[in-house]
Amino acid sequence: MVVDVDEIIRLLSSILALLIFTISIIAYHRERRKKLFLVSLAFFFYALKGFLKVSDIFIPQKGEFIEIFANLLDFIILALFFMAIVMDK
């Protein structure tokens, strides 16, 4: 098992995203604004995507599925940010 710099950075980004997700979900519980919930979800999916990608290190035989799912998550993340920006309330 060889862990390269790229994967370490990806893992650190995922941990950071998880931390921001925790902060944002607490902020949502306090403020009860839907927009904050959307932003929280976006950070959660970002963390999920990162963890899925680094899971390659442990389960290398997953193949194409990870890439497709990661791309789908990218779309979901951007869609959530977009909704948070355009939503009325």
Partner 1 sequence: MELELELRRKIYNLIKKHPGIHFRELERKLNIATGNLQYHLQYLEKKNLIKSENDGGYVRYFPKDCKLDENGKKIMSFLRRKTSRHIILYLLSKESANNKDIAKDLNLSPSTVSWHLNNLINAGIVEKEKIGRESLFKIKNPEKIVDILITYKESFLDKIIDRFIETWEPIVLK
- Judged by CB under 8 A, the chain residues 38 through 67 that form the site for partner 1 are 38-39
DSSP annotation string for the chain = ----HHHHHHHHHHHHHHHHHHHHHHHHHHH--HHHHHHHHHHHHHHHHHHHHHGGGT-GGGTHHHHHHHHHHHHHHHHHHHHHHH---
Among 23, 72, 78, 79, binds partner 1 (CB under 8 A): 23
Contact flag: residue 77 with partner 1 (CB under 8 A) = no
Q: Segment near partner 1 (CB under 8 A), from 7-15, 30-38, 47-55, 58-66?
A: 30-38
Residue of 3, 8, 12, 26 that binds partner 1 (CB under 8 A): 26
Q: Which of 75/82 has CB closer to partner 1?
A: 82
